[in-house]
Structure formats: C-alpha cells, structure tokens
C-alpha cells in the first residue's frame, strides 16, 4: 500500500511539474507528513523550516538551557536520523553552545545512534528493561515505569560521581 501511495505521489509531482514548471519533489522537507511540505511549497508559495527550530524559538528553550547543569532529551527511537533535524539534535546543539552536558533517553537505540554522540548528545540510554512485544513497550504504565527506573539509575551514577569529585 505504501509503494502504491508513493507511486501516486510521484505521478502527482510529475503532473505538477509539467503544469506549473516548478519541482519541489526533492526539496528537503517536501516529503514530510505525506507530502504536505511539497504541497505547501508548490501551491501556497510557503517556506519550510525544521519543526525543532520553531519549537525552540517559541518556547524560549535556549533561555532555559543557558544556565542548566544538565539537559535531558529523548525520543522513541534514537538512530542515525536523529541528528538530521530531530528534536534531540536541536536541543543538544543549543546545550553545546553553553557547554552543558546532554543525556538522551529513548525507547530503543538502533543502528547509527552513535552519530548522536558526534552531534552533541554525550550519552544515551534505551529504557526497555525486559524483552517484550511492541504493544507491551508502548503501554503507558510500562513505558512510565521503564523510563522512571532507567532515569533513576543514571542519576544515581551521576550523584555518585559528583560526590567523588
């Protein structure tokens, strides 16, 4: 079904290019949200910006990070794409401006996640504590308990190390 929809979108982009003489089909962000970026650029003469930039600006996040001792961020899955404009990378970039350490927590850690270390996330931790199904992992009670348990252990280590300095 996804291949069929991708094919429809490709045909729509070709048709649009032939009529309007513009082509945003490969523009960064044009494929996001099922092609909304493409539609906004092509038909509304819009400009696109990464969502994290909007969130950072509107929440004044930098003001909070500037004087922080540590920054905690995360997402459901850390992988090689995390550093490509996703929230944890944006948060880490600000923290690094002020030399604030960054820890990320995620549901799982996948191939390429080490790129996060190269892009401002000092350490990352998956929160899954036991093997199980995706449904079990996504159950709110389990996810909250897994997050709480993992964060508790990380901060026990931080506290222990801080005492010894």
Q: Write the pLDDT tens digit of every residue in 18-39.
A: 999 988 888 877 776 667 888 8
Strand partners for 106: 75, 126
pLDDT at 27: 83
Residue 110 DSSP SS3: coil
Task: Tell me the percentage of the chain whose pLDDT exceeds 70.
Answer: 98
pLDDT in tens, 78-102: 998 888 878 999 999 999 999 999 9
The dihedral sign for the CA sequence 20, 25, 27, 31: positive
Q: What is the pLDDT of residue 32?
A: 67
Model confidence, pTM:
0.76
């Amino acid at each position: 079904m996804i291949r069929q929809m991708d094919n429809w979108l490709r045909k729509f982009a070709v048709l649009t290019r032939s009529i309007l003489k513009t082509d945003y089909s490969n523009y960064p962000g044009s494929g996001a949200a099922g092609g909304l970026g493409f539609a906004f650029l092509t038909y509304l003469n819009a400009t696109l910006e990464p969502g994290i930039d909007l969130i950072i600006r509107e929440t004044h996040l930098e003001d909070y990070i500037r004087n922080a001792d540590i920054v905690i961020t995360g997402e459901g899955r850390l992988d090689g794409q995390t550093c490509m404009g996703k929230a944890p990378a944006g948060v880490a970039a600000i923290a690094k401006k002020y030399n604030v350490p960054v820890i990320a927590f995620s549901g799982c850690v996948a191939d390429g996640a080490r790129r996060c270390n190269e892009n401002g996330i000092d350490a990352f931790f998956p929160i899954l504590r036991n093997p199980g199904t995706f449904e079990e992992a996504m159950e709110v009670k389990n996810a909250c308990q897994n997050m709480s348990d993992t964060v508790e252990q990380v901060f026990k280590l931080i506290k222990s190390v801080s005492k010894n300095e």
